[in-house]
Structure 1
């Protein structure tokens, strides 16, 4: 649609499409959480052990990996078991070899206004994987039907390393 705008006695052609094209990048910009929300659900600011307990299966770069979070009856968090879990430090661009292991987990809630909840993993078996030797902190996203744990490495795209619940304490 085009319109003729007359100002100062001279006609000017204003193309609505051109104006919309110029404005669309402004309206298409999204907050960091919308990329996560679009593919997984809302990033969790807090979560309980009971909400997170269950088995998660990998998608994307996490394909083949599983993690099982069992809640403790006496304290927050509980025990964790992983299969085909990646090695490598957070600063490496590619995931390393995988391992099967176990240990404990807990939930750290967001402390600031923009902070998100995290599942923190502590591996006791195999002993070789200490903090920094493997992925040991995962962000949480939830919607009404699904829960995801994921590596929050680029807030502008759907996380590549993500795991979705396949069974939970409540199903």
Structure 2
């Protein structure tokens, strides 16, 4: 009986010690990159993003058409050292420099549906859907925008770009 009480007390102390540092999946992501966006416009996302974590050395530049600065649309994209392959399943593959178009896919009405950036490469032509990373979630913290790939919802995104 004493051992049972001791085990229960140890478990309670462990839980209490964890409360300040433990977080839900969305809390882990928010702590690293900021609050996830439900929507965004071309003008809000336009700019140059530099990689952090697994994306170190990667550059992504989003250009919005001047006429649609406040529209959700998209525009032209250029990348440098962009990864290929199913990197999220194993390791980053060969990198390439390329260009194409981008658009914002707005979040839904549910609290779990967030906006994301969709990229379509026109150069080099060898990359079809699934051959490279072509979708990134959008977040903001302290007035800075982050684009990231959520590979583990319980951890800070390993592949993230910051403007």
Same fold (TM over 0.5): yes
Structure-2 change in CA distance of 1:127 and 1:20 (3 Å) = same
Of the three residues 131, 134, 148, the one matched with 1:133 is 131
Of the three residues 157, 160, 163, the one matched with 1:159 is 157
Residue in structure 1 matched with residue 37 of structure 2 by the alignment:
44
Q: In the aligned structure 1, how far is the partner of 2:50 from the partner of 2:151?
A: 19
Q: In the aligned structure 1, how far is the partner of 2:108 from the partner of 2:140?
A: 19
Residue in structure 2 matched with residue 6 of structure 1 by the alignment:
none
Residue in structure 1 matched with residue 91 of structure 2 by the alignment:
94
5+ residue gaps in structure 2?
Answer: 1-8
Question: 1:92: how far off?
Answer: 3.2
Aligned residues: 153
Provide, for residues 148-168 of structure 1, a one-character-per-residue CA deviation record: whole Å limited to 9, x for no partner. Answer: 101111111110000100xxx
Residue in structure 2 matched with residue 147 of structure 1 by the alignment:
145
Provide, for residues 36-90 of structure 1, a one-character-per-residue CA deviation record: whole Å limited to 9, x for no partner. Answer: 1112111111111111100000011001110000012345100000000000026
Taking only aligned residues, the RMSD between alpha carbons, in angstroms, comes to: 2.5
Provide, for residues 87-113 of structure 1, a one-character-per-residue CA deviation record: whole Å limited to 9, x for no partner. Answer: 002663111000000000000011251
| 3-state SS of paired residue (2:14) | helix
Q: TM-score, normalised by structure 2?
A: 0.83
Q: TM-score, normalised by structure 1?
A: 0.80
Residue in structure 2 matched with residue 4 of structure 1 by the alignment:
none
Structure-2 change in CA distance of 1:112 and 1:94 (3 Å) = farther
Residue in structure 1 matched with residue 5 of structure 2 by the alignment:
none
| 3-state SS of paired residue (2:85) | coil
Q: In the aligned structure 1, how far is the partner of 2:15 from the partner of 2:142?
A: 36
Structure-2 change in CA distance of 1:66 and 1:23 (3 Å) = same
Larger Rg computed on CA atoms? 1
5+ residue gaps in structure 1?
Answer: 1-15, 166-171
Q: Which structure is higher in helix share?
A: 2
Question: 1:130: how far off?
Answer: 1.1
